[in-house]
Structure 1
């Protein structure tokens, strides 16, 4: 018995749909960083209302105003800092369980390390001593969640995606035989787990983690346009930033890319 036109059409579209689903399943979907659960910690502040004392910092971001971080920044206890791999990560903080608390929350970016103070008890001044989870905020950021006279307050915190409107930034230091790169304006998880550099006359060269948000390569790369490959520490997403710096690049300069993490 001959097949009806309707059954033939249905079979054809079913085959097309199954093929499309098979193709879709083979396409790698870039992982997006998702907010983490809320947890309890404590927060203090350092510096004054100008946040001038937060400039620089262990992550190596230099002038936080010029580089887009502003005053919504925080120094992490070493438990959170993770030897610098937490540089650039973003957190929501809200004050709890204190009369000094304001309503709402604020979002801050990790730009510094709050070092241990072993001369003081962990519960009486040594707030950043391991294994404490602690946030030492820029004073303007602290004043968004609590009255500054409180000094220290309990907070609920969670790590959240870093929302960026443009691409990664690469700040160059070093010399003709040693390239040191600070990676800034990192979206998604905000962190970098591994990094490679490629000159216009080289293959991909693995860079080692120096400290904070910096990676280094011992290679002669002068006179070559430079590209970078980066992998997120948290999501393991890998992106390519091609031809970031021209062949006449110089140390002391910052170069922008058009790509970022999700």
Structure 2
């Protein structure tokens, strides 16, 4: 009986690996922008995926954005009550997804400043509307998503552009690889911009496998995500962390 229990526990650990993490706290400032119901899109290319990330999103200063490597990452943000504008009866913290770049033309966003331009719903959970610009503490945390990672394929037979969304765990993607049916090796895709990845490999008419590695080192392989009959403009769901 004891041996069976140990085996069952081992199986659970293998099938359901722990992906919860939280980095250490750091200091920053936060403002808000966009419509009252929230905003999405911009430098990460998530305009068509509002249902996945809204309403709690943020545009990052270039220092945090890191040339799009932070797209899709999740940050927990806490208002620091040195100005008196933190919500007294609001949430203690809010978790936001990085979906945009805060322009360096804004002095508060220019390097080396660390700044979050939050969606209005996110800002108003932790701070008063009149606060405008408040000091905060932040840390990177694991992302919780419903369903698997999604792959939207656009382009043409000689140029494939894949938008990767809904990634759990680290949330932000380090590398994307594709392997078409019949190929023996994985092919690296190149970041085009934001969370859009390109390859000139001929993929049409072949079933596709994708392998995503997050900046946290999590590797997720989604086999046979797109069937042989896939068409440009379609979105396919794979696995998640």
TM-score interval, smaller chain: 0.7 to 0.9
Partner of 1:83: 67
Q: Tell me the secondary structure at the aligned position of residue 231 of structure 2.
A: coil
Match of residue 205, structure 1, among 187, 194, 204: 187
Query: Which residue does the alignment assign to 2:47?
Result: 62
Cα deviation for residue 254 of structure 1 reads 1.2
CA distance in 1, matches of 2:195, 2:56: 18
Greater shift, 72-81 or 95-104, is seen at 95-104
> What residue is the counterpart of 2:133 in the other structure?
152
1:102-147 C-alpha deviation (Å, 9 max, x unpaired):
1411110000111201xxxxxxx51100001100011111111111
Residue number in structure 2 paired with 1:94: 78
Q: Secondary structure at the match of 2:147?
A: coil
> Who is 2:58 aligned against?
74
1:196 is paired with a residue of what secondary structure? strand
**Unpaired segments ≥5 residues, structure 1:** 1-15, 118-124
Question: Using a 3 Å threshold, how does the CA distance of structure 1 residues 31 and 191 change in structure 2: closer, same or farther?
Answer: farther
Alignment partner of 1:43 out of 30, 48, 66 = 30
- In the aligned structure 1, how far is the partner of 2:48 from the partner of 2:212? 23
1:108 alignment partner in structure 2: 96
Shift of 1:64: 3.8
Q: Deviations over 1:185-227 (max 9, x none)?
A: 1111111111111111323211112221121111111011111
CA positional deviation for 1:32: 3.1
Question: 224, 227, 252: which one pairs with 2:209?
Answer: 227
Q: Secondary structure in 2 aligned to 1:83?
A: coil
Q: TM-score, normalised by structure 1?
A: 0.81
Q: Does 2:170 match 1:189?
A: yes
Q: Which residue of 2 aligns with 1:10?
A: none
Quote the Cα distance in structure 2 between the aligned partners of 1:215 and 1:63. Answer: 16
Q: In the alignment, is residue 254 of structure 1 matched against residue 241 of structure 2? A: no
The 3 A distance-change label for structure 1 pair 64 and 240 is closer
Q: Distance in 2 between matches of 1:216 and 1:75?
A: 24
Distance in 2 separating the partners of 1:31 and 1:232: 15
Over the aligned positions, Cα root-mean-square deviation in angstroms equals 2.1
State the alpha-carbon separation in 2 of the partners of residues 238 and 253 from structure 1.
Answer: 24
Question: Scaled by the length of structure 2, what TM-score is found?
Answer: 0.87
Partners of 1:210 and 1:56 in 2: CA distance: 16
Deviation at residue 33 of structure 1 after TM alignment: 5.0
Cα distance in 2, alignment partners of residues 245 and 232 from structure 1: 21
Asked if 1 retains the 8 angstrom alpha-carbon contact of 2:144 and 2:168, the reply is: yes
Distance (Å, rounded) in 2 between the aligned partners of 1:218 and 1:99: 54
User: How far apart, in 1, do the equivalents of 2:49 and 2:146 lie?
Assistant: 17
Paired residues, number: 227
Distance 1:178 1:247 in 2: 17
Classify the secondary structure of the residue corresponding to 2:66.
helix
